[in-house]
Structure 1
């Protein structure tokens, strides 16, 4: 019996092709399964990342809210400190600076740096500007050629506004320059005092209006 080498080669070739096809199919199935696993894993990971992002955003919002409330509480405590100091007749430079710090944001928006405000004191001995012996005391802030005169009070009343306007006029003459802005800063201000300040062109920075 003779061996048909051509036939044998054909059978072997088909067997090899079949084996390769099965291997490739198995490999393709394995790759497909791996891809599906990775896809599912990435989707789950992305979902968790999104949830984590939402949680972080919520926490940031809460921290911001707590920060705002803390600022309000700090301001309220400072205002209470000023009020208690005023009632105890201990009103002085330290409490004035406390008031300036309480309203730092409002003052900075008006061009005033609270930490650089200085006290101006002048005694009108011969009555050249006011009545003889009058003590003229205001807060002054000068920056970039601009002059600001300030009156700091725990509770600003009508007479405080009137007196500030008079003192400001005298200080302008003493300094030989017109003030660019007059500002009265008060924790509390009477309604009539606030209205009078507006009439006199005095800017008012305050915590509350007393009816």
Structure 2
């Protein structure tokens, strides 16, 4: 039987065609199902991989979340502590604010007091300036008086030398109490002369002296109204002569109403006691 005839026979037989169609359909169906299953298996496998990856990611996220929760917990505790600190700081700030307000009030009052003092100082300054001007004028007048007084003292001193011993005794009596503090009894003072027998100053020369002697000392005096540079040589020469004559300590005194400051300093360095009322520059 040729091929065309077979085909014609098949086409003329509907049952055969139907049977063949079922066979082909079943086979195609099986192939489609298998293919679908294979595709589904691949998809399922891919999904499993994805799910596995997601699970790992979820696990990591879980760990991260737990770590974050722990961190959040610690931060919560830290925040609570900070809130307490902030509360305490706020209370301190409130106290500081009150203190500052109190200080501002005190500063304000002090400012007012300072302003008042400045005004008073200004007035005092004006008064002092006025006084300084008056003192300046008085100082000039006083300086003139001192010059006149010094001149007068020199003149009186010269007069003392000429007038004899009466005025010297008067001066000694004026300073009697001061001399007594140095254990000097002016009633024992006598006037005399000492001769330079040894040539300490000028051999054979006689010097007038006021002195008296005790068992322990010899007291020598130079009495002046105004003690100038001449008194230095006078008292030191006489002390030297008496030390050689009596061979015992000699206490030297200069008694004067007025003494120049420079002369006083020199005499004190020489160990001479100075009894005086006024020091002249």
TM-score normalised by the chain length of structure 1: 0.54
- The corresponding residue for 2:272 is 202
TM-superposition CA deviations, 1:123-166 (whole Å, max 9, x none): 33x66221134332222123453321111112111231133112
1:90 aligns with 2:187: no
| 158 and 168 in structure 1: CA distance in 2 versus 1, 3 angstrom threshold | same
- For the residues of structure 1 that align with 2:161 and 2:179, how far apart are their CA atoms? 26
- The corresponding residue for 1:132 is 203
Match of 1:174 among 213, 222, 245: 245
- For the residues of structure 1 that align with 2:216 and 2:160, how far apart are their CA atoms? 38
- The corresponding residue for 2:172 is 100
- For the residues of structure 1 that align with 2:208 and 2:191, how far apart are their CA atoms? 7
- The corresponding residue for 2:3 is none
- For the residues of structure 2 that align with 1:141 and 1:88, how far apart are their CA atoms? 21
- The corresponding residue for 2:187 is 115
SS in structure 1 at match of 2:172: helix
SS in structure 2 at match of 1:90: helix
- For the residues of structure 1 that align with 2:211 and 2:165, how far apart are their CA atoms? 13
| 116 and 158 in structure 1: CA distance in 2 versus 1, 3 angstrom threshold | same
Q: Which has the higher helix share?
A: 2
- For the residues of structure 1 that align with 2:229 and 2:275, how far apart are their CA atoms? 15
State the aligned residue count. Answer: 130
Q: Which has the higher strand share?
A: 1
- For the residues of structure 1 that align with 2:167 and 2:234, how far apart are their CA atoms? 20
- For the residues of structure 1 that align with 2:160 and 2:239, how far apart are their CA atoms? 28
| 91 and 198 in structure 1: CA distance in 2 versus 1, 3 angstrom threshold | same
CA contact (8 A) 2:259 2:276 kept: yes
Question: Residue 111 of structure 1: CA displacement?
Answer: 0.5
Question: Which structure is richer in relative contact order (CA contacts within 8 A, separation 6 or more)?
Answer: 1
Larger Rg: 2
CA contact (8 A) 1:96 1:153 kept: yes
SS in structure 2 at match of 1:188: strand
- The corresponding residue for 2:33 is none
- For the residues of structure 2 that align with 1:194 and 1:150, how far apart are their CA atoms? 15
Runs of 4+ in 1 over 6 A off after TM superposition: 80-83
| 107 and 83 in structure 1: CA distance in 2 versus 1, 3 angstrom threshold | farther
TM-score normalised by the chain length of structure 2: 0.41
